[in-house]
Chain A
Amino acid sequence: MSGSALELAAAVRRGTRSAVDVLDEHRAAIEATELQIHAFNLVTAAEARAAAEEVDRTVAAGDDPGPLAGVPIALKDNLCTRGIPTTCSSKILDGWLPPYDATVVQRLAAAGAVPIGKTNLDEFAMGSSTENSAFGPTRNPRDLTRVPGGSSGGSAAAVAAGFAPLSLGSDTGGSIRQPAALCGVVGVKPTYGRVSRYGLIAFASSLDQIGPFANTVADAAQLLEVIAGHDPRDSTSIPEGPPAVSEHLLDGVDGLRVGVVTELLGEGIAPDVAARVREAAEALAAAGAKVEEASVPAAIYGLSAYYLIAPAEASSNLARFDGVRYGLRVNAPTTNEMMIATRTAGFGAEVKRRIMLGTYALSAGYYDAYYGQAQRVRTLIARDFAAAYEQFDVLLSPTSPTTAFAFGDKTADPLTMYLNDVCTIPSNLVGDPAMSVPFGTGADGLPVGVQVLAPALAEATMFRTAAVLEGAAP
């Protein structure tokens, strides 16, 4: 099933399909294959049913439930949902019921969407394969022997498997775009500050951004328009309304200046993936774009900077999981011992690794060499991107260096896993938007994603480029 969210919403708003009917259809899909895929930590059947019925009542009353009327949507399990377990796929939050909704969850409800469950992720969004979940990995719907990517592997898989036409993920170093590429769906990381982070359980505050997964570029655009826009509860929220993306989707790329990023197409990128990116560039040229090689020299430092900054912020963000106020507690005679026992039992290996790495990067005597230096590198990368955007409207690169890899392939060596994020990380460091669009398959027959990068706030340009690629995809 690969229903378009826009078509479903239109049918529900017209009254030609009921939201409950749409929900039932997707629940049947979940029942058919979820046991194999494990996209969800929790399917909220009863709440979804109630929401769908409410949408149908609204339509029956002659009112408009909103642009996503009756569209089932899966939520990454690091988005707070009131009264519904929110775990970050970590034992330390097992059983926690948030007493509030994330801003995006409120906006989805206001748009008539029907949340159907919480999706699996790498614990606290730290990983690129969803193998770091405390509740077991998610499988790639395109090939069950492969990972779906990560950390939003459950959200990508849910859309790829037809469990929901839309889902939300969060992207700190590629956690939306990379699984979107590996599962063959569209994934968007908006400009930092476009979408409120209020209610997103933080991994790295200055990098995290919530964004859409969808089967089509148009669906992703509609979802972005629903969730984006200023939120006074997030100090880093950009004081602007949602970007007008949908109305420019079909504007085409005639005359658009497109740069193919040399630094992200060389060593470490699988030849079949690189070939698809070149094809994508040719497709844009054929549609009237002016395509050239672009250089962002400092991008090569992105990975190192990211793996100092993100763990540093995470080490502080995850300090609050101490067994005092919510979540897991492992009893011990003193508070300090209780905190240590709780954190030691509650966090998985990758989370501990990053907490320690980040603690080290911030610690006395190392701050300047590591965290401070990494923040300066960020400035360097931002300058190089700014320079590139003087010549180009959008940039093109692979999303992931390879297609979906096998379980266990990269778990033995953390650094090998980290290298997976090399193409996606720069956008997070700089705060610019980027998205992954499916563009054919690799030599193994698995999906390849092409990444479209754009300057801050230029989502509209990015989306219309993506729409052309979508139409031209092999």
Chain B
Amino acid sequence: MTTTLLPEGWELIVGLEVHAELATATKMFSAAPNMFGDDPNTNIDPVTLGLPGSLPVLNEKAVELAIRLGLAVHCSVEPSVFSRKNYFYPDMPKDFQISQYDKPINVDGWLELPDGTVIGIERAHLEEDTGKSSHMGGDGRIHGASHSLVDYNRAGVPLLEIVSRPDIRTPDQAKAYVSELRSILVATGASDGKMEEGSMRVDANVSVHHPGEPFGTRCEIKNLNSLRSLGRAIEYEARRQVDVLEAGETIRQETRHWNEAEGRTSTMRVKEDADDYRYFPEPDLVPLAPSAEWIEQIRADLPPMPAERRARLAAAAGVPKTTDSVAVIVERDLDGLALATLELGADPGRVLVHVEQNLSGDGSAELRPDLLAALIALETGGELTATQAKQVLADVVATGADPAEVAKAKGFEAMSSDALFTAIDEIIAGSPDEWERFRTGDQKARGKLTGFFVGQVMKATRGQADGGAVTARLNELAAG
């Protein structure tokens, strides 16, 4: 990926911290339900509220899901320890957060983006979520509010914080990373990955520097609730930092808030020396040391991850694994259909095109591979044009009928070569200027005009012409 984002000589450095709520039935340290959207303060027990005398007990499922995700992103699963992070805040019932600090459960992993870029993962550790404050009397924001109301339903929900290495260089890469991570979270069953419900939250550490020099001072951007926000915020922040630096000023290490409506980041809190969280090992919890057997059993139960599925599909179709259609098909969970259709000997190119472009609606996933293969056979046998095949496919998906019968019912039959050539000749005669430029122009011009002529022929034949055949005839005629 190249970028023209920043002025010459500047490079963007991004590291992402993704907080994923784990898909458990209960909270990290107690049996209160882990449920989004319930009435305020209903999913609470003594532990959730941090009542005096309450004690945490670790949820086995949260550990298993953490290990699943860890293994899926090639982390090493280590003996770990929970610590207390001490700071006062009303949405944190104990005024400390239980989090893995110097001994996280997962370390040193990586994931591969669809374009082949590898992003390092420093750690993926367990911690508990906080409650939720609603700010009243202002415009819903913390500033200007007269008071705040706290709901502890979310307090204690298990979180996995996945910290990337600063390997990300563009906003698009950041989006691709989060998208890939979300797919992995969903594939492992670790999280539902719903950014809109807050079950996946992203903070971005952004800095800029001149390549070859040390990384610049970074700012942490919060409130990134969508992939779109993530991309825009990084882009804005990178430009802001370059402007500051080019004006001869310095970047202050701080946390910044992304305002989606205004399209800008603003200072939220400056990192101070007073940020002293007094971490120490949580005495109410004992060390966690998953056995090798447990880890291997979890590994054995893992479904294939998106990168592996992309590689498998690409290999079966004989295309590079970075092919866009491959990524799209896996993203839509249609790679099973594509692979089964390929196994029946269908033309790989047509399989990828149909599955990527013509199978987005309901029922697509249930399409029988043999029907798709039969359709493609009609197409490659010259009995259906690409356009006709698309129409037939829509009916096949809807009805489950045999493609040949659908084609017959629609009155589709392949155009004879004579009829096609006549139609082409008529179009050429009616567009002499375009034809001259097609004949004499360079590769680029010819490419552009191919589109024009194919379109005209299609229009004239009401879609019965085969685009490939038209192109071949045009080139034949031009060559004289």
Direct touch of chains A and B (CB < 8 A): yes
Q: Which residues of A contact B (CB under 8 A)?
A: 79-80, 86, 88, 93, 96, 98-100, 102, 197-202, 204-206, 232-236, 312-313, 315-316, 319-322, 324-326, 335-336, 339, 359, 362-364, 367, 371
A/B interface sample: 22 pairs, CB < 8 A: A79-B53, A80-B53, A88-B52, A93-B52, A100-B46, A102-B53, A197-B53, A205-B283, A232-B57, A235-B56, A235-B57, A236-B286, A316-B86, A316-B278, A316-B280, A322-B88, A324-B150, A326-B52, A335-B90, A362-B280, A363-B276, A364-B276
- Considering the chains assembled together, what is the distance between the CA atoms of A235 and B29 in angstroms? 10
Known: A322-B90, A362-B280. A201 touches B53 (CB 8 A): yes
- Give every chain A residue within 8 A of B124 (Cβ-Cβ): none
**Cβ contact of A233, chosen from B52, B55, B276, B286, cutoff 8 A:** B55
The answer to whether A335 and B280 touch across the interface, beta carbons within 8 angstroms, is: no
Residue among B55, B84, B86, B148 having the largest count of chain A Cβ atoms under 10 Å: B55
Q: B470 CB to closest chain A CB, in angstroms?
A: 72
B49, CB-defined interface residue at 8 Å: yes
Contacting residues, chain A, for B50 (C-beta < 8 A): 320, 325
Task: Tell me the bound Cα distance from A233 to B50 in angstroms.
Answer: 14
The 10 closest A-B pairs by CB, nearest first: A319-B95, A205-B283, A362-B278, A206-B283, A201-B52, A199-B53, A80-B53, A364-B276, A320-B94, A201-B53
B414 to chain A, nearest CB (A): 73
Task: Indicate which residue in A80, A233, A313, A367 contacts B283 across the interface (CB closer than 8 Å).
Answer: A313
Q: CA–CA, A361 to B58, complex, Å?
A: 27
Which of A80, A322, A324 has the most chain B CB within a 10 Å cutoff? A324
User: Could you tell me the distance in whole angstroms from the C-beta of B291 to the nearest C-beta in chain A?
Assistant: 17
Contact of B93 with A by CB under 8 A: yes
Residues in A whose Cβ lies below 8 Å from that of B423: none
Interface: B360 (CB within 8 A): no
Is there an interface contact between A336 and B286, defined as CB atoms closer than 8 Å? Answer: no
A324 to B148, CA, bound (A): 11
Cβ of B57 and Cβ of A319 under 8 Å apart? Answer: no
A201-B53, A235-B58 known; 12 new pairs, CB 8 Å cut-off, are A98-B52, A98-B53, A100-B51, A236-B284, A315-B278, A319-B88, A322-B95, A324-B150, A325-B50, A335-B148, A362-B86, A362-B278
Closest chain B residue to A86, Cβ basis: B52
Instruction: Give complex CA distance A319, B93 in Å.
Output: 9
What is the bound-complex CA distance between A203 and B280, given in angstroms?
A: 16
Chain B interface residue count, CB cutoff 8 Å, equals: 29
**8 Å CB contacts to A: which residues of B25-76?**
46, 49-58
CA distance A290 to B286 in the complex (A): 38
Q: Which residues 87-111 in B have Cβ within 8 Å of A in the complex?
A: 88, 90, 93-96
Q: How far is the CB of A245 from chain B (nearest CB, A)?
A: 25
In the bound complex, residues from chain B placing their C-beta under 8 Å from that of A204 are: 283
| Contacting residues, chain A, for B93 (C-beta < 8 A) | 320, 325
Q: How far is the CA of A202 from the CA of B58 in the complex (A)?
A: 19
A325 to B95, CA, bound (A): 11
> Which residues from A are CB-within-8-Å of B58?
235
Contact pick for B88, options A206, A232, A312, A336, CB 8 Å: A336
Q: Contact check, A312 vs B280: say whether CB atoms are below 8 A apart.
A: yes
Asked if residues A359 and B278 are in contact (CB atoms below 8 Å), the reply is yes
A464 shortest CB reach to chain B, Å: 31
Contact at B285–A320, with CB atoms within 8 Å? no
User: Is B90 within 8 A of A197, CB to CB?
Assistant: no
Contact B148 A316 (CB under 8 A): no
Binding site for A on B (CB under 8 A): 46, 49-58, 84, 86, 88, 90, 93-96, 148, 150, 276, 278-280, 283-286
The reply to whether A319 and B94 form a contact with Cβ atoms under 8 Å apart is yes
CB distance from B341 to the nearest CB of A (A): 52
A364 to B96, CA, bound (A): 16
Q: Is A235 a contact of B86 with CB atoms below 8 Å?
A: no
Complex Cα distance, B94 from A315, in Å, reads 12
CB pair B95 A371 closer than 8 Å: no
Query: Which residues of chain A are near B94, meaning CB under 8 Å?
Result: 319-320
Set of chain A residues within 8 Å of B53, measured between Cβ atoms: 79-80, 98, 100, 102, 197-202
Assembled-state Cα–Cα distance A336/B90 (Å): 9
Give chain A residues whose Cβ lies under 8 Å from the Cβ of B286.
Answer: 235-236
- Give complex CA distance A438, B86 in Å: 42
In the bound complex, what is the Cα–Cα distance between A312 and B283 (angstroms)? 11
A198 cross-chain contacts in B, Cβ below 8 A: 53-55
Least CB distance from B288 to A in Å reads 11
Cβ–Cβ < 8 Å partners of A326 in chain B: 51-52
Q: How far is the CB of A173 from chain B (nearest CB, A)?
A: 15
Residue of B nearest to A360 (CB): B278
* Interface contact A316-B88, CB-CB below 8 Å: no
Complex: A197 Cα to B46 Cα, angstroms: 14
Residues of chain B contacted by A200 (CB below 8 angstroms): 53
Q: How far is the CB of A344 from chain B (nearest CB, A)?
A: 13
A187 nearest CB across to chain B (Å): 21
Q: Which residues of A have CB within 8 Å of B285?
A: 235
- Select the residue from A93, A100, A312, A316 with max chain B CB neighbours within 10 A: A316
Which residues of chain B come closer than 8 Å to A234, judged between CB atoms? 55, 57
Once bound together, how far apart are the Cα atoms of A96 and B56, in whole Å? 21
Q: Which B residues are in CB contact (< 8 Å) with A371? A: 280
> Which A residues are CB-close (under 8 A) to B148?
335
CA distance A100 to B54 in the complex (A): 9
CA distance A329 to B280 in the complex (A): 28
Kindly list chain B residues whose C-beta atoms are within 8 Å of the C-beta of A364: 276, 278
A198 to B, closest residue via Cβ: B55
Please name all residues of chain A whose beta carbon is closer than 8 Å to the beta carbon of B56 when the two chains form the complex: 235
